[in-house]
A and B are shown apart, each in its own frame.
Chain A
């Protein structure tokens, strides 16, 4: 053993008490579309995100939103799908389009000098994507093959089962994709979804990086290509579901275990407290579940809990892949950890650790020229107060043990959790 005095005592650790959240420049473009822009001069790269409120929430038919998103960039009036990818790749740019429950997002990342070349292509795409039958068929076939593979993975099966039973099989947050749904989609479904929803009243633009004022002009010009519409506001109706325990046969080397509790979106008054409690339970490496089930017992490579939140709803999910022989004891241990959180006060050390961890982690997730705009993006898109993340940081700093304990008593009852096990049946 080496004796090094220096190492006997560690350095003083400083408490993190503030997180700097940037305020981007805000513009309302002449198209009526809001633009949020955060400049980082000299980095040589730019990211542009166009987000439409056009996800599953606005569908008239299953899977249309996601399929529409995937096919936006696959052909325009002037260019075929392969011409578009050739032109974008030639400029060294990345263009993606994705759809989820709430949104369709077009994201362009490129070198500073390429933006002028790429924006006209993007505009041409936005004016009128073709959604051709041919491209739709290619998409369907590839997606089916991908589904065939994914449906043999335990963790995917368990996520599908738990979200479907939790939100309801007809809910936008709960329904699962099937071959039949894919077969049922037509080219005109995609066109009408696009024309109805990817419109100027549902668009938000976020720009980051090394842009100039002339680029903002070009983006304004681009936004004039969005269809001009006044849509009615969306309506989300939560489905009432009954608690379930589901066992599914899957791959047998390990089981995928998921527990879940219906919760709420970020607007709920208890969100900050549950966010804090979730971190302690299973939200970071030093969490209670990791310490007990991985670091003490060695039952799994990873166990975590997360708040799976959407714009209008949310749930609490605990998830783990482990050998079948450990499943019962793991369930028991999760319940023990719930009890501890309900009955034993948090030590000052753990409380302080979670506070520092969460703030430091937050600083890290918004660090960098493209990530800094994220809090403002989330606040805008999810309909949160413009001070949401500042307030969340302040609330995190202020939490005391009894507040967290009382939330644990209110929410952490193992009997209220949905349960799915996929593995050896």
Chain B
């Protein structure tokens, strides 16, 4: 249970506070509701590049990192397809340093040509390190372009190609800032040992005077229902073969989201899961296998990913995965299995609520999603799920005509 209070400042900024008296630390989290889904298809990777530029300086703060380090804190940020998230963790006596830097860059970011030039290069190196120079590093590029033909989830957050990042212009940067980095489009959460009232006073003190132009929402093209199976085979510099099966699934607020999550756990969470026990341990057909959901705000993906052992041919490997899916679709799910998965999720939620930063982050997350109360309803959402729910959703989602299949084969050189 995360006890929180919520206010909305007159400029539209939503503020969430959580008191934790057991810690000497404070976490400040600012989420902006903009991610790579808000980019245009010929200018991808921009939201993430922009996140890098947010550290370049603002009108009154020269160097964000220095201010936070002097305050004894640590700060960082990440971007995904739906939002961009900035955070600081620091000793509570210096909490105002974090509020100051976040407020100042919300009010008046300064983007210099020099900072843009450097960060373009940094992000291109990040692109190479994470996607191009790592085996299977471009899997998400292949999967998203196959699964999303209309919706902007078509490209990964890092961008389609390094060239898009290279061509980012300073005018685009300031437009992007004006459009998305407004109090209206942001959520501030503070978790600390201070009282709720005190945290609200501080939020008001630092953020209330920032102007807000109310932003227009982007209308994102919906993804049409997939009608037939799609396949892609990639010959790449990878050491062993790998297979990915991706299926479209409902959005984050759909009750079926939770069922899909539980279904992916049934297949692959923990050593007792079906795929691990049957395909890795008992038969040794795979060296590794996993199932997970993308968890995006808009309709997402249910993915099964595995690496067959050298002596198992790819057709057989795929059939073996389908056999395991069919076992579930045919109703072979026990009450005990369901209890097991729910117990595991409950522990997971208890553990994630022990961390002050995590609590600040998920408060912002659920608020951005549209309903902050969900933060305390997660265990209940999962506990409601019945055996039949799992079987029905498996039959609805994990079907061949909605399959997107990606296979990596080692190239010869």
Give me the interface of A with B, judged by CB distance under 8 Å.
Answer: 1-2, 4, 6-11, 13-14, 16, 20, 40, 43-45, 81-82, 85-86, 88-94, 109-111, 114, 138, 141-142, 145-146, 148-149, 151-154, 251, 253-254, 284-286, 294-302, 321-323, 349, 352-354, 356-357, 359-361, 363-364, 367-370
Q: Given A7-B107, A367-B23, check contact A90 B339 (CB 8 Å).
A: yes
A-B contact pairs, 5 of them (CB 8 A): A82-B282, A149-B307, A301-B123, A353-B69, A357-B70
- CB of B67 within 8 A of CB of A10, answer yes
Q: Looking at chain B, what size class is its interface with the partner chain?
A: 35 or more
Taking CB atoms, residues of chain B closer than 8 Å to A254 are 125, 128-129, 132-133
Instruction: Tell me the nearest residue of chain A to B237, going by C-beta.
Output: A251
B262 shortest CB reach to chain A, Å: 13
Q: Given A152-B239, A368-B23, check contact A11 B97 (CB 8 Å).
A: yes
Instruction: Tell me the nearest residue of chain A to B280, going by C-beta.
Output: A142
A301 shortest CB reach to chain B, Å: 4
* Extra A-B contacts (6), CB below 8 Å, given A151-B239, A286-B65: A1-B108, A7-B107, A13-B70, A86-B272, A301-B122, A360-B72
- CB of A93 within 8 A of CB of B347, answer yes
Q: Given A253-B133, A298-B119, A356-B69, check contact A145 B100 (CB 8 Å).
A: no
A393 shortest CB reach to chain B, Å: 12
User: How does the 8 Å CB contact mask read for B236-261 relative to A, with 1 for contact and 0 for none?
Assistant: 01111000000000000000000000
Cβ of B61 within 8 Å of any chain A Cβ, yes or no, is: yes
**How many angstroms between the C-alpha atoms of A20 and B24 in the bound complex?**
9
**How many angstroms between the C-alpha atoms of A7 and B240 in the bound complex?**
55
Taking CB atoms, residues of chain A closer than 8 Å to B97 are 10-11, 13
**How many angstroms between the C-alpha atoms of A86 and B75 in the bound complex?**
40
B347 interface neighbour in A4, A82, A110, Cβ under 8 Å: A110
- CB of A368 within 8 A of CB of B355, answer yes
Cβ of B22 within 8 Å of any chain A Cβ, yes or no, is: yes
Among A1, A153, A364, the most chain B Cβ lie within 10 Å of the Cβ of A364
Q: Given A6-B206, A10-B100, A11-B100, check contact A359 B354 (CB 8 Å).
A: no
Q: Given A7-B100, A110-B347, check contact A145 B307 (CB 8 Å).
A: yes
Taking CB atoms, residues of chain B closer than 8 Å to A354 are 69
Which of the 9-residue segments B38-46, B85-93, B292-300, B388-396 touches chain A? B85-93
- CB of B74 within 8 A of CB of A364, answer yes
- CB of A295 within 8 A of CB of B118, answer yes
**How many angstroms between the C-alpha atoms of A91 and B237 in the bound complex?**
42
Q: Given A2-B107, A43-B354, A152-B135, check contact A296 B287 (CB 8 Å).
A: no
Taking CB atoms, residues of chain A closer than 8 Å to B288 are 142, 145-146
- CB of B135 within 8 A of CB of A298, answer no
- CB of B65 within 8 A of CB of A89, answer no
Among A93, A151, A152, the most chain B Cβ lie within 10 Å of the Cβ of A152
User: How does the 8 Å CB contact mask read for B325-343 relative to A, with 1 for contact and 0 for none?
Assistant: 0000000000010011011
Instruction: Tell me the nearest residue of chain A to B71, going by C-beta.
Output: A13
Q: What number of A-B contacts does a CB cutoff of 8 Å give?
A: 230
Instruction: Tell me the nearest residue of chain B to A4, going by C-beta.
Output: B209
- CB of A299 within 8 A of CB of B125, answer yes
Ranked nearest first, the 4 interchain pairs of A and B with the lowest CB-CB distance are: A360-B72, A298-B121, A92-B343, A85-B271
- Among B182-240, those with CB < 8 Å from A are 205-206, 209-211, 237-240
- CB of A7 within 8 A of CB of B351, answer no
B284 interface neighbour in A91, A110, A138, A357, Cβ under 8 Å: A138
A154 shortest CB reach to chain B, Å: 7
User: How does the 8 Å CB contact mask read for B282-311 relative to A, with 1 for contact and 0 for none?
Assistant: 101001100000000000000000010110
Cβ of B134 within 8 Å of any chain A Cβ, yes or no, is: yes
- Among B104-129, those with CB < 8 Å from A are 104, 107-108, 117-123, 125-126, 128-129
**How many angstroms between the C-alpha atoms of A302 and B52 in the bound complex?**
13
Give me the interface of B with A, judged by CB distance under 8 Å.
Answer: 22-25, 59-61, 63, 65-67, 69-76, 89-91, 93-94, 96-97, 99-101, 103-104, 107-108, 117-123, 125-126, 128-130, 132-135, 205-206, 209-211, 237-240, 270-273, 277, 280-282, 284, 287-288, 307, 309-310, 336, 339-340, 342-347, 350-351, 354-356
Instruction: Tell me the nearest residue of chain B to A365, going by C-beta.
Output: B74
Q: Given A13-B71, A89-B270, check contact A2 B134 (CB 8 Å).
A: no
Taking CB atoms, residues of chain A closer than 8 Å to B108 are 1-2, 4, 7
B381 shortest CB reach to chain A, Å: 17
B77 shortest CB reach to chain A, Å: 11
Taking CB atoms, residues of chain A closer than 8 Å to B103 are 7
- CB of A11 within 8 A of CB of B96, answer yes
Taking CB atoms, residues of chain A closer than 8 Å to B67 are 10, 13
**How many angstroms between the C-alpha atoms of A298 and B124 in the bound complex?**
9
Q: Given A6-B209, A360-B90, check contact A142 B122 (CB 8 Å).
A: no
- CB of A356 within 8 A of CB of B122, answer no
**How many angstroms between the C-alpha atoms of A315 and B74 in the bound complex?**
25
- CB of B129 within 8 A of CB of A353, answer no
Instruction: Tell me the nearest residue of chain B to A84, going by C-beta.
Output: B271
- CB of B126 within 8 A of CB of A301, answer yes
A16 interface neighbour in B91, B280, B344, B345, Cβ under 8 Å: B91
Taking CB atoms, residues of chain A closer than 8 Å to B307 are 145, 149
- CB of A363 within 8 A of CB of B118, answer no
A331 shortest CB reach to chain B, Å: 16
Taking CB atoms, residues of chain A closer than 8 Å to B309 are 141, 145
Taking CB atoms, residues of chain B closer than 8 Å to A296 are 118
Taking CB atoms, residues of chain B closer than 8 Å to A20 are 24
B125 shortest CB reach to chain A, Å: 5
Taking CB atoms, residues of chain B closer than 8 Å to A7 are 59-60, 100, 103-104, 107-108, 206
Taking CB atoms, residues of chain B closer than 8 Å to A148 are 239-240
- CB of B119 within 8 A of CB of A45, answer no
- CB of B239 within 8 A of CB of A14, answer no
**How many angstroms between the C-alpha atoms of A2 and B23 in the bound complex?**
36
- CB of A360 within 8 A of CB of B240, answer no
- CB of B272 within 8 A of CB of A364, answer no
- CB of B69 within 8 A of CB of A284, answer yes
**How many angstroms between the C-alpha atoms of A81 and B276 in the bound complex?**
12
Taking CB atoms, residues of chain A closer than 8 Å to B60 are 7-10
Taking CB atoms, residues of chain B closer than 8 Å to A153 are 134-135
**How many angstroms between the C-alpha atoms of A151 and B24 in the bound complex?**
43
Taking CB atoms, residues of chain A closer than 8 Å to B206 are 6-7
**How many angstroms between the C-alpha atoms of A108 and B66 in the bound complex?**
39
A111 interface neighbour in B90, B339, B350, Cβ under 8 Å: B350
Taking CB atoms, residues of chain B closer than 8 Å to A251 are 133-134, 237
Among B70, B121, B134, B288, the most chain A Cβ lie within 10 Å of the Cβ of B70
